[in-house]
Structure 1
Amino acid sequence: MPKITLIQAQKKAGRYNIYLDGTYAFPVAESVLIKYQLAKGMEIDKQLLSQITSADLQAKAYNKALDYLSHQLRTQKELSDHLKELGIDEPTIKEVLTKLLDLRLLDDQVYANSFVRTQANLSDKGPTVIRQKLRQKGIGENLIDRALLEFPPEAQVANAKKLGQKLAKRHQASPLKIRQNKIITGIMTKGFSASVANSALEQLDLQVDPNQELAALTTQAKKAWRRYQRFDLKTRQLKTKQALYRKGFNLDEIDKVLAELAE
């Protein structure tokens, strides 16, 4: 039965080369060296060699996992996918995940809570979009539900209001009704509920600028009037009126502008 004749430290910290009967045999991590109490003169049979090899694979995978986790919080799925990309087999990955979970170095609930707080504080994303992002990261629905408690309704309305203010400026040339609809749609697209979007809209207290609305109406009316010039007068007026109404302009104001165009 072969015996260990030399244990030589590698240049890489925490790694050692094992020599059997004077010939290099295999490398091991320091943790494996300690676990199996490897020492000069120790006999190594096939069964023990297999155990040492398996343990070293786990040690290398564990160190790679620690390195991946050192940069930022990760989910179980993210870590598992990363180790798979490195060519580590499924059984070893499961062993590594179990060890990290036991040591609380990997916790999907902690990750989800932190993710929700970050999104609530630094982004314009609402709960629906945040939930989708967490699902993609492999977080379960129950964990997501608990994490979203970190983003209470009042905070959602406050964030939605900030987003609404940006949208109000972007669509300030639109009629009030259309402007309001675009704000609501924009807020909901970011993942906020209809009730939150409406609450935010109410707090915006949008004001109507008659001069601005009239200028916008006149511009749109002229475009529509030219678009339907091939029709007779009545049809042209009707089509123009319908187009302007769909854009949210006031009917009385539309009639006044159309009367001027018809002249």
Structure 2
Amino acid sequence: TDKGPEIYRQKLYQLGIEVTIIEKYVEAYEQQQPLDDVIKVAEKVMKSKKGPEAKVKQKVTQSLLQKGYKFETIQLVMNEIDFSQDEETLDHLLQRDLEKVYNKNCRKYDSDKSVIKTIEALMRKGYNYDKIKSKLEESGISNE
């Protein structure tokens, strides 16, 4: 299963089982579950997440925490996984997000303010400032 030991600890506690017994079985479960299984769960989550590397890492970490894995285990898994994406995919995602955010901001603000707001929004999404600037210039949108 893709559930971590903390989920089982919580469910057993809700059933009214003694804490000492829960600790014993959760510890046994942690030792039985190899790191490879957690890596598979993380890779499965990673396939559904798209965007800049930093945001994908954040989403995978958050998902594993929600599934009940300990933070130490998650850190080990994150060091094992390769999060790199090809430049073409990232460029396409940036272009799509740029158009979407810029069009939304154009309706609310004047041109200079909309460019600034677009840059801020894309940086919050995890895109690199230099890539955003170059995409803006490529698209013919610029605040200079």
TM-score w.r.t. the length of structure 2 is 0.89
1:192 aligns with 2:65: no
Mapped to 2, the partners of 1:261 and 1:202 lie a distance apart of 39
**Which is richer in strand?**
1
Whether contact under 8 Å (1:157, 1:197) holds in the other structure is no
Structure number with larger C-alpha Rg: 1
Identity, % of aligned positions: 26
**Which is richer in helix?**
2
Mapped to 1, the partners of 2:71 and 2:27 lie a distance apart of 18
Mapped to 2, the partners of 1:142 and 1:170 lie a distance apart of 38
Structure 1 unaligned segments of length 5 or more: list them: 1-122
Q: 1:158 aligns with which of 36, 49, 56?
A: 36
Which one-letter code corresponds to 1:254 in the other structure?
Answer: I
CA offsets per residue over residues 129-179 of structure 1, 9 Å max, x none?
1111111222111111111121235836333211101011111x3111111
CA offsets per residue over residues 116-138 of structure 1, 9 Å max, x none?
xxxxxxx1111211111111222
Mapped to 1, the partners of 2:47 and 2:76 lie a distance apart of 18
- Label 1:239 to 1:223 Cα distance change in 2 as closer, same or farther (>3 A): same
CA offsets per residue over residues 62-82 of structure 1, 9 Å max, x none?
xxxxxxxxxxxxxxxxxxxxx
* Aligned residue runs from structure 1 range 1-263, under 5 A: 123-152=1-30, 155=33, 157-171=35-49, 173-230=50-107, 231-259=109-137, 260-262=139-141
Q: Which has the higher contact order (CA 8 A, sep 6+)?
A: 2
Mapped to 2, the partners of 1:253 and 1:232 lie a distance apart of 23
Mapped to 1, the partners of 2:84 and 2:39 lie a distance apart of 15
Structure 2 unaligned segments of length 5 or more: list them: none
TM-score w.r.t. the length of structure 1 is 0.50
Mapped to 2, the partners of 1:254 and 1:166 lie a distance apart of 29
Mapped to 2, the partners of 1:133 and 1:156 lie a distance apart of 22
Mapped to 2, the partners of 1:154 and 1:200 lie a distance apart of 16
CA offsets per residue over residues 7-63 of structure 1, 9 Å max, x none?
xxxxxxxxxxxxxxxxxxxxxxxxxxxxxxxxxxxxxxxxxxxxxxxxxxxxxxxxx
> Runs in 1 of length 4+ with deviation above 4 angstroms?
none
Q: Over aligned residues, Cα RMSD in angstroms? A: 1.6
CA offsets per residue over residues 158-214 of structure 1, 9 Å max, x none?
33211101011111x311111111111011100011221121121112222111001
